[in-house]
Amino acid sequence: MNTVVELFHIGGFPMYWVTFFLAPALALPIVHLVTAKRLTLTLALCAVLLPVLAGAAGTMMGRARTDTVVDEMGPESQEDLEAIRRMGYREASVPLYYGAGVTALGALVLMVAEIRRRGRDGRR
């Protein structure tokens, strides 16, 4: 089991992008929980999607970097190159998993807020 520090080391700089969007992804659904307006719903939905989008961008960058490194390597056995590529892809997917977790947490708060808003307005 990896610690958070190890995951940040493995995931690289895109992990900080996801962390940057963590506060809005959690704060705006809470604002929507309190105010329950359509504008806050739209803003909260956009904020909740940002971490997973940042994680996906980080994963794409990591995979591209892995492909570049593997293509530039010298004459190695094909099995070694594929093992390096698999390891690089696994490390590149860490920002996406982290972004998905943050998005899921924000989406959970947003769902509770929206259910509460619809119950308060008398709509089902």
The pLDDT, as a whole number, for residue 94 is: 94
Rounded distance, CA 116 to CA 123, Å? 10
pTM of the shown model: 0.84
Q: Tell me the residue range of the domain where 100 lies.
A: 4-121
Q: Give every residue of the chain whose pLDDT is below 50, as ranges.
A: none
CA-CA distances (angstroms) from residue 72 to 75, 78, 80, 81?
9, 13, 14, 11
Looking at residue 122, its pLDDT comes to 63
Nearest-angstrom CA–CA distance, 89 and 74:
20
CA dist 123 and 1 (Å) reads 45
Distances in Å between the Cα of 99 and the Cα atoms of 60, 66, 69, 85 are 13, 20, 25, 22
pLDDT digits (tens, 9 = 90+) for 20-42: 999 999 999 999 989 888 899 99
Q: What is the structure's pLDDT at 1?
A: 66
Structural domain count, the chain: 1
Can you give the pLDDT at residue 15?
Answer: 92
